[in-house]
Amino acid sequence: MKMRHYVWASVMLLSACATPSERFADAADTLGFEELTVRTDRFAHRIYSHINAVKNTDRKTLHVYLDGDGTPWQQRWIAGDPTSRSPIILKLMVQDSEPSILLGRPCYHGFSGTEPCHNKFWTSHRYSKPVVESMAAALQQWLETTDFNEIVLVGYSGGGTLAMLIAPYIDKIKAIVTVAANLDIKAWSEFHGYLPLSDSLNPAVGPELPPMIRQFHLAGGKDDNVPPFIIEAFAKTHSRAQAIIYRDFDHQCCWAEAWPSILGKIQAGNVAFNAGDSR
């Protein structure tokens, strides 16, 4: 664990002159992730793989990580590059001993200035059908070269929103794990007083997923970005969806520190987390 902290501290010394996409890529490289690009008929997607884990052919379950919304806005202005400035998702994935990849979102990771990208795809249309379908197609394309039997989708913040929306398109989904995820975009927009996310899909009113897909929806009790009531309300109206509240966590703290324990329970097939685990 000390070595991981040292590596991450080294990542933070990267040049401040680099773009968010460049800093993210440098951080992923420093942590030992391999980068490749997958292109669908609409968008290009960056995929980062956990090299040692993915090449372990004895493992047949793949964990697919989906990052949050990053920085769509900078104060009152739309960001030119929405890629995460503080990539918690990398801190989670580096601690995962299972085969794992990070599936990049359209127009993130250096593609914001390419066709057909437009800033609507990281603002109002961030969860739109073109985004969801392209991400699902990119994942399917990557999976064609592998023989994984089961898929677990792991989404942080807005990545959890996308995990719920992508799941119907992907075979072999075993479970979905969301962390501080916006599972009801209407309730979230109203809570913050934001304009509605026009043309974005809402998991809260989407089709019910097959009952064999387990859903673990983790929320921080002190999260003022995605308050826990949004996640609890979602779980109450969806079968096999379990809300798990970590009372002392917020939107960023302390998911990375708790991740090994959380992964252990999920990998052990512990569907019902003990009440004492929600803290």
pTM of the predicted protein model: 0.91
User: Which percentage of the chain shows pLDDT scores above 90?
Assistant: 75
The 10s digit of each residue's pLDDT in 202-214 is 999 988 899 899 9
**DSSP letter, residue 33:** E
Structure tokens of 94? 């580096």
Q: Whole-angstrom Cα distance, residue 72 to residue 62?
A: 29
The 10s digit of each residue's pLDDT in 85-127 is 988 999 999 999 889 999 999 999 999 999 999 999 999 999 9
pLDDT given for residue 17 in this prediction: 73
Phi, psi torsion values for 60, nearest 5 degrees: -115, 0
Helices 20-30, 2-11: inter-axial angle, 10-degree rounding:
150
